A and B are shown apart, each in its own frame.
Chain A
Amino acid sequence: LAKTTQPVSMDSYEGQEVNITCSHNNIATNDYITWYQQFPSQGPRFIIQGYKTKVTNEVASLFIPADRKSSTLSLPRVSLSDTAVYYCLVGDSGAGSYQLTFGKGTKLSVIP
């Protein structure tokens, strides 16, 4: 399974765009990149998933370069409610979510 590396923590002011980069050098051909968000005392929540180039939904954008060895989750104009831990997962989720490994994630703190 591909190992991921992401920053332990990040701080941002309200209204700013936040970019969280995840490194996954040994990503396999069938692997997808998935991001989850977790608020304190809650279970993780799916944010976005992609395979290559760019994916955008109502919550975030995911940028994946051609070599797919990294990916960047972009949160536009964050608010205090975006304070959470963000997990980058890499795996063949089409073969079963049990293969996806949650690392320590990135703790994002949004400052007023």
Chain B
Amino acid sequence: DADVTQTPRNRITKTGKRIMLECSQTKGHDRMYWYRQDPGLGLRLIYYSFDVKDINKGEISDGYSVSRQAQAKFSLSLESAIPNQTALYFCATSEPGQGADEKLFFGSGTQLSVL
């Protein structure tokens, strides 16, 4: 079983619809992240959370919201989807290590298409 699981793997929705992408992890990490990747581009950080009571905006949070339901669960919502939110979305986790040992562990991604 994957350590970081994203559901669904693929989703097609229409403009204006509300949609939620879910992420769960079995790594026991406190830190969780949502990234977005557009074709040919790198990953951009949407939101991150260092624990259940901590939520922070990333580089491109407009149009998105998140919920950290538990240490293991971090969901991303698009309240009113628009076509330029069509992208590949990744959830990731990390645990601060000794010095700069912190590594990101990614899920397999959710391909979202907004028509």
Q: Give the B-binding residues of A (Cβ under 8 A).
A: 32, 34, 36, 41-46, 49, 51, 87, 92-94, 96-98, 100-105
Contact = CB atoms under 8 A, between A and B. Distances in A.
Nearest to A85: B42
A102 B37 CA distance: 10
B43 A93 contact: no
Contacts of B50: 96
Interface residues of B, number: 32
* Interface of chain A, main secondary structure: loop
A29 to B, nearest CB: 12
Given A49-B100, A51-B100, 11 more contacts: A34-B103, A42-B106, A43-B4, A92-B100, A94-B96, A96-B96, A97-B102, A97-B103, A98-B48, A102-B43, A103-B42
A43 B100 contact: no
The DSSP consensus for interface residues of chain B is strand
A80 to B, nearest CB: 21
B12 interface: no
A104 B100 CA distance: 23
A43 B106 contact: yes
